[in-house]
Amino acid sequence: MDYKARYEEWLSNPYFDADTKAELTNIKDDDNEIKERFYTDLEFGTAGLRGIIAAGTNRLNIYTVRKATQGLANYIIRNGSADKGVAIAYDSRHMSPEFADEAALCLAANGIKAYVFESLRPTPELSYAVRELKCIAGINITASHNPPEYNGYKVYWEDGAQITPPHDKGIMDEVKAIEDYTTTKTMTLDAAKAAGLYEVIGAAIDDSYIAELKKQVIHADAIAAEGKNLKIVYSPLHGTGNIPARRILKELGFENVYVVKEQELPDGDFPTVSYPNPESDEAFVLGLKLAKEVDADIVLATDPDADRLGVFVKDTASGEYKVLTGNMSGCLLANYEISQRKATTGLPDDGYLIKTIVTSNMADAIAKAYDVGLIEVLTGFKYIGQQILGFENTGKGQYVFGFEESYGCLIGTHARDKDAIVATMALCEAAAYYKTQGKTLWDAMIDMYEQYGYYKDDIQAVSLKGIEGLAKIQEILETFRKNPPTEIGGYKVTQARDYKANTIKDMATGAVTETGLPESNVLYYDLTDDAWLCVRPSGTEPKIKFYYGIKGTSLADADAKSTALGKEVLSMIDKML
């Protein structure tokens, strides 16, 4: 069925509601818009769905949510696990509560109990709830840091991590097998509650989640000494972090927490930013203004579903606020957690630090310094969660710390996804600890650079929207794949990794080995002098991303080397567009 026939089907079929038909009627003269909405199905990928909220098969709406949930229900039933139930959370985005209920009522109609949070909650709490309630799966309605017109649908499995093989493929196959929307099931909310298949959850899970976070505190003594003096500015960026982040800080004894009022309340329009991304300097304009007014030590912002944390810290020597990238804050927390656990309780003999392939090589240096193992996984925190599950299932290996460059880490194993609430807690604890030593977090960062080397990592991303954009992204990747570079920005390529072909080629000898990781459309180039470049399509946005990293001898040297390599990357991109 072509896109025009699909469009007419949605207009004529009585299954689709009047509001949907009215919306579609409004675009009847816009063939390109009709094509964009109906030329394909919104892809159920390895993390679920993410798309623009609108009517159409290639958009996120109650019908595509219902279809995805029916596929999930079919898979759960096929696995004989319908009696375990599914936990459902949602964030502050438009239609999030409606999509959560749509998913819950589809599950209920399939005889699967849904545990639905009473109001918006962070992603890590959903991950925790799946395990705490012994559910077979979890659903989180969120589009993380995407622009306001987007929403998403993330699926978790019983270990609390986002779905990985074989479950991801199994669920995707079930969703793809549904060709007729009218075959999906639903029921009324009253009927679902009467049948005991819809249960509202909230405070009890909140309390146990917060209690788990408190178990991760290492230096309560430092908080007792400096918690009343440390000044913290925090912004939830109109999302889910406001209540849990402020609660954990207050209960631990941090008395001076200043919330950015303009960004405090949930708002799916995200009116103070173009998009609610803590990686963006724009997200910190209001927070930094407040920080200067109150002379804050640290400025924090969580994204709408509170799995990622952005950070600025004060350099008392210059009086400036310094941004910490995801790599910097991740390494700072990794170094603090590992060093202080070693000093207080000791490290396990089989402990591991886990990072993704696009994460800073400073993590490797930290692991080596403390004699803990290092595991590298594909991009996506679910692969870190998969490693934790592997440790539990085999009894071999212990999780020490895990993080990825995109501002996400996990301290403890209460959840199996990035947790910006525990990261907020830990970073404030670290700030208090270093304050007892007369140091700031920026001082601690400089100490790390001096110890491990001045690593600097960055990213260039190119947005290529629509059908043509997707084709161009694949064309760029295939160009690299067929003609791997031998030199990039003055650095020689020592190894070329192709995770789609499962190959690592030694450029000097020509020897080829396997990557040992699952198939993924990602290319990675190891360069001389501990530099690197990685090319991959975004899994959540219509972008192709170029990650790169260098190692300098000082801040100035690292900045210069990173800028030069970045210019070379942009030049490479321009030649391909």
Instruction: Return mean pLDDT, the chain.
Output: 95
pLDDT of residue 271: 96
pLDDT of residue 540: 65
Q: Phi/psi of residue 462, each to 5°?
A: -120, 125
Q: Give 344-378 pLDDT, tens digit per residue.
A: 999 999 999 999 999 999 999 999 999 999 999 99
Q: Give 467-484 pLDDT, tens digit per residue.
A: 788 888 888 899 899 888
pLDDT of residue 157: 97
Assign 47 a pLDDT band (cuts: 50, 70, 90). confident
Domain residues of the chain, as ranges?
1-34, 40-201, 215-232+272-452, 456-576
* Active-site residue (options: 127, 144, 235, 329): 144
Q: Give 423-437 pLDDT, tens digit per residue.
A: 999 999 999 999 999
Most confident of 42-46, 156-160, 569-573: 156-160
Tell me whether the CATH fold assigned to 40-201 matches the one assigned to 456-576: no
pLDDT of residue 283: 96
When pLDDT is averaged across residues 432-461 and rounded to a whole number, the result is 96
Cβ distance 90 to 138 under 8 Å?
Answer: no
pLDDT of residue 1: 79
Structure tokens at 508: 């000097």
When pLDDT is averaged across residues 240-263 and rounded to a whole number, the result is 98
Distance from chain centroid for Cα 386: 15
Report percent pLDDT > 70 for the chain.
99
Structure tokens at 24: 């579609």
The letter for the amino acid at 428 is C
- Say whether pLDDT at 301 is over 70: yes
The answer to which of 9-13, 30-34, 259-263, 476-480 has the lowest mean pLDDT is 476-480
- 329 belongs to the catalytic site: no
Q: Give 317-338 pLDDT, tens digit per residue.
A: 999 999 999 999 999 999 999 9
- Say whether pLDDT at 514 is over 80: yes
When pLDDT is averaged across residues 260-265 and rounded to a whole number, the result is 98
By C-alpha distance, which of 381, 298, 374 is closest to 334?
A: 374
Query: Which CATH superfamily groups domain 215-232+272-452?
Result: Alpha-D-Glucose-1,6-Bisphosphate, subunit A, domain 3 (3.40.120.10)
Assign 466 a pLDDT band (cuts: 50, 70, 90). confident
pTM of the model: 0.94
Cβ distance 148 to 227 under 8 Å?
Answer: no
Q: Give 182-226 pLDDT, tens digit per residue.
A: 999 999 999 999 999 999 999 999 999 999 999 999 999 999 999
- CA 571 → CA 443, 539, 577, distances in Å? 35, 24, 10
Fold of 456-576: TATA-Binding Protein (3.30.310)
**Numbers of helices and strands, H then E, in the chain:** 19, 23
- The CATH class of the 40-201 domain is alpha beta
